[in-house]
Amino acid sequence: MTESTSPVLDLDDVSVTFTSGLGASRREVTAMSHVSLSVTAGETLGLVGESGSGKTTTGSVVLGLQRPDTGTVRFQDAPLSRSLRSRAGRMQAVLQHPRWALDPRSTILSSVLEPLLVHERRTPDTEARALSMLDQVGLPASFAARRPHQLSGGQLQRVSIARALVTHPAFIVFDEAVSALDVSVQAQILNLIQDLQAEHRFAALFISHDLAAVRYISHQVAVMRAGEIVEHAPTEVFYDLPQHPYSRQLFQELSS
């Protein structure tokens, strides 16, 4: 069967503003300005930019956590606001600090089981599915009874990825998912994400300030500055010759 080429996630002319301050200092801050992006199955879009550029707001919008002021967001060919039930378990996120996402009192198996039990009834094979997902992220069954404080940062991020993937989502947001890890562990997690994407064909938004990580993991790259997409290109094209002055500035900061 031929895989659909229509976007899994599509943003069209999306803008978001927030109000900041009180009284005379009250002002509107533009977090996203006329942003248009799309991601297809099996593809990763890398979103780069400095802190405050609008990357995290973009992640919130695509996950349905932040409603845009203008523009449209479509997930699997349906308006995001109308597809809440259909996207249950079909959109997930992997964040920067896995310890914040995991209950320190729960076992690793319970943490991976939780998303499944939210979206469906427990069946005789539910636990086996969670154990299988732990195995897929490189954690043997002996880890199932452990608790978060007994795992390293890299192992915890593997648990977070297992939690995200156990419901077989069509789309995953990775928000600075490797930035808190040692360089050698970063490479292992990036390789793991690539392998899992090749197998499960999920679409992904990889939010990062790390141009090297984005280059390694992404099929296309979008550069964000002050809420605007200033450059968007296939990864090979972007890294061969960035066009926008801000993109070139990011490259200079990386090499300095």
The answer to whether the beta carbons of residues 16 and 72 sit under 8 Å apart is: no
Q: Is 198 exposed, middle or buried (0-12, 13-18, 19+ CB in 10 A)?
A: exposed
The answer to whether the beta carbons of residues 92 and 168 sit under 8 Å apart is: no
Q: Does residue 176 belong to any structural domain of this protein?
A: yes
The answer to whether the beta carbons of residues 223 and 48 sit under 8 Å apart is: yes
pLDDT at 5 over 80: no
Sequence-ordered list of residues with C-beta below 8 angstroms from that of 91, at least 6 positions apart, any chain: 62, 63, 64, 75, 169, 170, 171, 172, 173
Q: Does residue 124 belong to any structural domain of this protein?
A: no
CATH of the domain at 210: 3.40.50.300
pLDDT tens digits for range 73-109: 999 988 887 555 556 689 999 998 888 878 899 999 9
pTM of the model: 0.91
Q: What are phi and psi of 55, to 5 degrees?
A: -65, -50
First vs last C-alpha separation in the chain: 48
pLDDT tens digits for range 31-72: 999 999 999 999 999 999 988 899 999 999 999 889 999 999
Q: Does residue 128 belong to any structural domain of this protein?
A: no
Q: Which of the 8 DSSP states describes residue 82?
A: G
pLDDT at 207 over 90: yes
Report the C-alpha gap between 31 and 54 in whole angstroms. 5
Pairing of strands 171-175, 91-94: parallel
Report the C-alpha gap between 241 and 256 in whole angstroms. 18
Question: Which two three-digit tokens encode residue 244?
Answer: 């926008």
Report the C-alpha gap between 25 and 145 in whole angstroms. 52
> How many percent of the chain have pLDDT more than 90?
70
Q: Does residue 123 belong to any structural domain of this protein?
A: no
Q: Does residue 142 belong to any structural domain of this protein?
A: no
Could you give the residue ranges of the DSSP H alpha helices within the chain?
55-62, 98-101, 108-119, 126-136, 153-165, 183-200, 211-217, 235-240, 245-255
Summarize the confidence of residues 169-179 as an average pLDDT: 94
Based on the structure, what is the number of domains in the chain? 1
Pick from 46, 76, 62: nearest CA to 206? 46
Q: Does residue 148 belong to any structural domain of this protein?
A: no
Between 256 and 198, where is the model more confident?
198
Sequence-ordered list of residues with C-beta below 8 angstroms from that of 210, at least 6 positions apart, any chain: 48, 178, 179
pLDDT at 254: 65
pLDDT at 1: 42
Report the C-alpha gap between 123 and 195 in whole angstroms. 28
The whole domain housing 206 covers 1-90+172-180+201-256
Mean pLDDT of the chain: 90
Q: Does residue 240 belong to any structural domain of this protein?
A: yes
Summarize the confidence of residues 14-35 as an average pLDDT: 86
